[in-house]
Amino acid sequence: MSEEKVVSRTVAESQAERSEIIFPADSNALGNLFGGRLMQFIDLVGAVAAVRHSRAIVVTASMDHSDFVAPVHIGDLLILKASVNRAFRTSMEVGIRAMVEDARAGTVRHVSSAYVTYVAVDREGRPVPVPCVVPETEHQKRRFADAARRRELRAEETKRTRDVRAALGGGWHV
């Protein structure tokens, strides 16, 4: 029996969710979650979505717009949701939204969002092709289109960075 290669997957097939209770070891002197720890949680849940989509090992290539819009406090229930917005040849843009749930009040507030690019690789670390994304809802279609625009901006920024490095003789000077 031959195995048929999947050439596309829906956004729903990649969705991932992670919940964390915030403890003092994760927090600064004000009792707020460290930004770096939040970025770690974001990267982890995003990687799960990328693995679900690609069915491969993934590595983080970049993190865009990691916006911290509200603090997360000790004792808060942090909920992170991720899904693949768009897949390119070997890379995927994953959108992650972080929220804090007040279980007693039954409310949820947005605390952070990020876009993370992952590359699917084989066991030797070589990039491998990933399936296309099939957006189904209007929201998913908008995110799909927006991901292409963000990719163009990332490419422009990468080119600018390379040009600056070349102008500085290949290295960074402070």
Residues spanned by the domain of 118: 8-135
- Domain count within the chain: 1
Give the whole-angstrom CA distance, residue 61 versus residue 130: 15
Question: Can you say whether residue 115 is alpha, beta or left, with left for phi > 0 and alpha for psi between -120 and 50 degrees?
Answer: beta
- Assess if residue 174 is contained within a domain: no
pLDDT value of position 22: 96
Q: pLDDT for 158-167, tens place per residue?
A: 888 888 888 8
By the 10 Å C-beta count (0-12 exposed, 13-18 middle, 19+ buried), 104 is classed as exposed
Indicate which CATH number applies to the domain containing 94. 3.10.129.10
- Assess if residue 97 is contained within a domain: yes
pLDDT value of position 29: 96
- Assess if residue 28 is contained within a domain: yes
- Assess if residue 70 is contained within a domain: yes
Entry pTM: 0.87
- Assess if residue 163 is contained within a domain: no
- Assess if residue 154 is contained within a domain: no
pLDDT value of position 1: 40
pLDDT value of position 170: 65
Q: pLDDT for 61-93, tens place per residue?
A: 999 878 889 999 999 999 999 999 999 999 999
- Assess if residue 43 is contained within a domain: yes
- Assess if residue 44 is contained within a domain: yes
pLDDT value of position 98: 98
Q: pLDDT for 99-157, tens place per residue?
A: 999 888 889 999 999 999 999 999 999 999 999 999 999 999 999 999 999 999 888 88
